[in-house]
Structure formats: structure tokens, C-alpha cells
Chains A and B, each alone.
Chain A
Amino acid sequence: MFERGWKAFKQFLHGLAGYEFARHALEMRRELEAVFMVVTMGDLIGVPILPPVYSLRLLPYLVPEIAKWKRQMARRKEFWEKEEYDLRGV
């Protein structure tokens, strides 16, 4: 009981304090990965337009991310939905 409560409190504290940084780190990583996806796009569709030796080496790491990437790119977004425009605390 006490252990569960303590764990929940720690998670709450993480949500209050550190979670924002974790989300921002994910956001930055996504932006970087989007660049990699673009450079490997040629190989994905069979039209190699960039030096394939590098992009092919990256490909195994990127293939598992393709489904997520597609969702991110294809979803319609309002301009205030980007994390850095969240108006916190009103």
C-alpha cells in the first residue's frame, strides 16, 4: 500500500517536473529522425538519389519507425498544437 502510494507520488512528481523535458527530447529526436527519413526516402521507394551507402546503413534502424513517421507527417495539425506553443498555467 505504502509502496504503491510512494510510486504514484514519484510518478506525479515526474509529471510535474521532468516529463516536459522528456517530451521535448522526444520532439527534438523526431525532428532529427524526420531528416533521416527524408534522406532514405529514395531507397525506400527504389529511387536512390543520395549516396546509398550511408542511407542503407541507416535503413534497418528506420524501418521500424516508418509507421509512426507516416502518422506524424500525415496528421492535420492546428498551429497551436506544437508543444512549444502550449500555453501552460492559465
Chain B
Amino acid sequence: MNALIAVIIGAVTVYLAYAHYARRIDRNVIQSDPKRATPATLYMDGVDFMPTNRNILFGYHFKSIAAAGPIVGAIVAATLWGWLPALVWLVLGVSFMGWASDYSAIVLSVRNEGNSLSAVAHRLVSPRTRTVLFLFIFFYLLLIAGAFVGIMAQVMDGQPKTPLGIILLVAMGLLLGQMLYRWKMGLLGATVITVGITFLGILLGPLPAIEGTFKGFNESLNTMTGGAPIVTYFDPTLAGFKGAEAKIMPSLLFWAIAICLFCYAGSVLPIWRMAQPVVYVGFWITAMAMVLGLLGAAVGTFVKPEVAQFQIPAFKGWNPQLGPAGIMPLWPMLFVTIACGAISGWHALFGSVGTARQIENEADMLPVGAGSMFTEFLLGLLALLAVSVGAKGAPVGAFANGLGGFISVWGVPVQYAVSLAFAAFIVIVLVVTQLIFRVMRVTLTEWLGEVIPPCRNQHVASFISVALAILLVLTGTWIYLWQLFGAANQLMAALSLLLVTVWLASVGKDWLYAGLPMIFMYLTTVASILVTAYNLYFNVYQPNLVAGRVIPVVGSGLMVLVAILLVVAALFVAVDGWRAFVRYLRRPAPAPGPAPARG
């Protein structure tokens, strides 16, 4: 197997699924009508509701949904089960579920006066469903924050060639905000300066003097405790899943705290000051790496065949023997490990409030919603290719080696290409994480602000969010954390498809294209949460409890608790959804009224 064949498979998948399945659903089931007024045109308010050109909206929606998720998931799945199951799930997932979820969420909102999923759930299913959605969002954010901070800290600590580029990215983001909003500079000039300097920082990272400086810095941090770890815990996923004592050294904790401080600033500062410009600078860095990588993967087979050959096994088994790491059956775990490249709940949430209100014409719903999802699938495919040809190192290392190999096809020396790939990975994850803390802060304020007034303070809310994420990082067992996040995300996708199914039933349309993926995702997700909770309890919580380690016990206990809450919430949604579905099958709902207004 080589990268070219995988790229061809990807292109054929996109063509067949889009042209022969998605279009048919759009034409025969949804019956999109270019002459029907959309909420953007009906309720145009100049900002939220704004008719927007489909090409612009395609770019905007794609950028909004695609980044860390499809990349990290593909890396972990290929490491656990081999590249073949990951490829098959990516192809089948996006063809039959992913596009349907993203597109249908936009359709649902467009046909319901531009209302968000929670508002539609409140009207069509039950008021309780909206509350459950809040629960999902909170735990979703907590899990992903812990997972992302953990993996970033590991890379920053273990790869001394990376920090310079990342530090410059943050500095350039701050500078860009100042240039655009205070000095009123043009976007093009400001982009050239800030992206150029960041890029230079990334390329300078592997120079021995710079790499040595950061290495020395990490070592000097570790000598503060005489080389002793700060926290020790048993992690069954280490040492090739044989299980080992994991040690959190001062340098790792330093990078985790540094990342959290950056995210804290991104959370409390005005959006234009830090979060938005950092995302923008980061976008160009990752776009450069991804475009060079994808094209490199396509032509590498001819130009530099050694970088395009798959190195990892195609299939490692239905239930890889993981010893103390417990059970990891392909079903259901693969389907939550790879979330965003195949199907993602967050896309639906964003699509219903962000994109649906800018749809100018119903004929744009398919290219924007489904088109973006298929493009994200290609991003997931690139991550899978990179990790499959990379081979060397831990999952992220293998990804960076593979992507670096693809980039080196264009004449970039391999060490610089790998450095760019490492930096691109961190940038992708970092820019999302700062936004996660921002949303977490607001979620906490909304939830607890009435009951615990100090939570209304943005610093208190941000601090609580950061502290909870750090606790999860100190617990270790990163893979379980990632899978729990994936489960929360996929459960949200199932919930979104459930809403679409209920709506289709309520308007007397064929609901199978959304209903069948919903049933599959729902059963798979609940099963995966139970498996993860089992693994966490017996393989992490208990061994650390026996060893009397407080922090890992609290952290893994928290994760088990979250898992139980997710399952309970899922059961509530299923019961309410089923009742609503049966009700509408018997008696279709009346057409929706105008968007509800504040009294």
C-alpha cells in the first residue's frame, strides 16, 4: 500500500458519496428549493443573519470545523488497530453519516427559522433535551481540554525543536491583533510580517543552538526536584500497552502550565486581542503544512517512493491484546477514536448556529455543509497517511515523521520538514484549545453563575476550567481521555441526527438516511463509554488506589463519573426522542412559527 492509492481512494469516495448519494438525498428527500426564502434573507440583520456567497461560506465553514480532531483521532486509531480499519471507517463514516449529520443540521436550522439545535429540540422533542445538550457541552469541553493540553505538553517537553515556533506564534498573534485593530494596518501586509516571522521561528527550531537551549532549560527544571518526578501513576497504556509507571517531571508540568496560562489569557482577553489573531496566524502555518503534505503524498509515490510506503501493519486484530490496558474492541472503540474525520457532533452544533444563518439559497446547503465535511475527511485521510508512512516514534512522532516526509518531497530538508510538521500539529491543537477554555468559561458562568455568584467572574470561571483540565492531565491515561472525548462528541452527533430524524418524521419525509446512522452512532457511543469506564475503573482507578496515589485516583474517578453521567444523559435523550418520534409518525407537527422573541 502506498500513499497514492490512499489518495485515489479518498478522491473516489468523495465523488461517489457526494454525487450519487448526498445529491440524491438533497433532491428527493430534503427537496431543497432555490426559490424558497432562507432565514438569512428573511431575517437579515447584517451580522448573524447575513446572506453570504456559497464559496465564501464553504471556506468559512470548513475552517470552522476542521483542525485537531480529524488529525489526532486518525493517529491514535492507526496505532491501535492498524491503518486498514481506520481507512475503512473514515470512508464509510463520511459517506453515510458524516456528511448527513453536518448537512442535515444546517437544513434543520434553515427550515426552522434559523433556530439552533437546542431551540429545535426544545420545540420538537422536550424541554429536557435542551438541558441534556448543556450537559454534553460542558463535559465535552472538559474532556477535550484535558486531552489537548496533555498531548501538547508531551510534545513541547519531548521535542525541544518545537517551542521556539510556538512562542513566536503567540507573540505574532498578539502583534497581529495590535496591527489590525489598533494600528489599522492592511491585512495582507500584517499577514506577511507575522506569518513570515512565525514560519522563520519554526524553521530555526531544529538548529542545534536553539534545540540545545530548550533541552538545557527542561533539564534544569528537572534538576529542581533532583530528577524526581512530581507525580507518579500507573498508566496501562504505556510501554506498548504493557503498562508502566508514568512520571510527570517538572518540565512536563511547566509546559502544561505554560499552555494553560496562554489559554487562560486567550479566555479572558478580548477576542480580537489574542484568540482570533493567533487562530489566523496558526491557520496559515497549518494550511501550508497540510497543502504541501497532501500534494507531497500524491506525487511522493513517483518522486520519492520511500516516503510514500506504508510502514505500520494494516490490521492489528479485532481486539488487540493490551494486557493491563484492558479491552479495546474494534467495535465500538474505533468509531469514537476517529470522530471528526468521519462524523462529529460539534460540526452540527456550529453549523446550526453559525453557518445556517448565512445560507443565501437552499441550493447552497449541500455544497457548504456536505462539501466541508468531505474536505475534512481528506484532512483525516492525510493524518492517517502520515502516521502510516511515519512509523518511527510515538503516535504524534510518527505523524510528524510521515508528514515531514511528504513535505520533503518538495526539496525541504527532512529535519526542517519534520520540525514544520511537529509545529503544525501543536499549532492546530493549541489554537483550538484556547477557544475551548473560552467557551468553558462562558459555559460555567451560565451554569453556575446563579447558584455560585463568584463563577460569574471571568477569572474565577477560567481558573476553575484550567484547574480541572490540569487535573485530567496529571491523571495520565491519555488514550482513555481521548476516547471519552470522542464518545461525548459522537453522542452529540447521534443527538443531532436524532433531532433531524424526529423533524423529518414530523414533516412527513423519509427519515431513514438520518435515522439509521443515528441508531448506529447511538448504540456504538453508549457501548464505547461503558468500555472506557470499565477500563478506567479496573485498570487505572483501582491500581492507583491500591498504591495510595491521590491525584490519579481523583482524576480517573472524575473520568468514570463523567462516563456514567454521559450514559444517563444519553438514556434520557433516547426516551424523549423515541416518544417524540412515535408521536410525529402518528400525527405530523404543524409548521413552525416565527423565531421566538424575548418578551
Find residues 31-69 in chain B having any chain A CB closer than 8 Å to their own CB: 43-50, 53, 55-69
Interface residues on B, range: 35 or more
In the complex, A8 Cα to B59 Cα: how many Å?
A: 10
Is there contact, CB below 8 Å, between A15 and B55?
yes
Q: Which residues of B contact A83 (CB under 8 A)?
A: 271, 354
A1 at the interface (CB under 8 A from B): no
0/1 string, A75-90, CB within 8 A of B gives 1: 1101111011111111
Q: Is the interface of B mostly helix, strand, loop or mixed?
A: helix
Chain A residue at smallest Cβ distance from B133: A78
Chain A residues with CB under 8 Å of B280's CB are 17, 20-21
Cβ contacts A14-33/B at 8 Å (1 or 0 each)? 11111111011011101000
Q: Which residue, A11, A12, A15, has most C-beta atoms of chain B within 10 A? A: A15
Q: Which residues of B contact A57 (CB under 8 A)?
A: none
Within 8 Å of chain A (Cβ to Cβ): is B275? Answer: yes
Distance from A48 Cβ to chain B, minimum over Cβ atoms (Å): 26
Q: CB < 8 Å: which of A12, A76, A78 contacts B597?
A: A76
Inter-chain CA distance A34–B177, complex, in Å, is 24
Most chain A C-beta atoms within 10 Å of own C-beta, residue among B53, B61, B340, B344 = B53
Q: With A15-B56, A16-B287, A75-B595 in contact, do A21 and B43 touch (Cβ < 8 Å)? A: no
**B528 interfacial contact with A, CB 8 Å:** no
Q: Give complex CA distance A88, B64 in Å.
A: 4
A53 at the interface (CB under 8 A from B): no
Collect the chain B residues with CB atoms within 8 Å of residue A27's CB.
Answer: 47
B58 surroundings in chain A (CB, below 8 A): 12, 15
A86 touches B275 (CB 8 A): no
Interface on A for B, CB 8 Å cutoff?
8-9, 11-21, 23-24, 26-28, 30, 65, 68-69, 71-72, 74-76, 78-81, 83-90
Instruction: List 28 A–B pairs whose Cβ atoms lie within 8 Å, in order of A's numbering.
Output: A8-B55, A12-B55, A15-B60, A15-B63, A16-B60, A17-B59, A19-B56, A20-B279, A23-B47, A24-B276, A65-B46, A68-B44, A69-B45, A71-B45, A72-B45, A80-B353, A81-B353, A84-B276, A84-B438, A86-B64, A86-B435, A87-B432, A89-B64, A89-B65, A89-B432, A90-B67, A90-B68, A90-B344
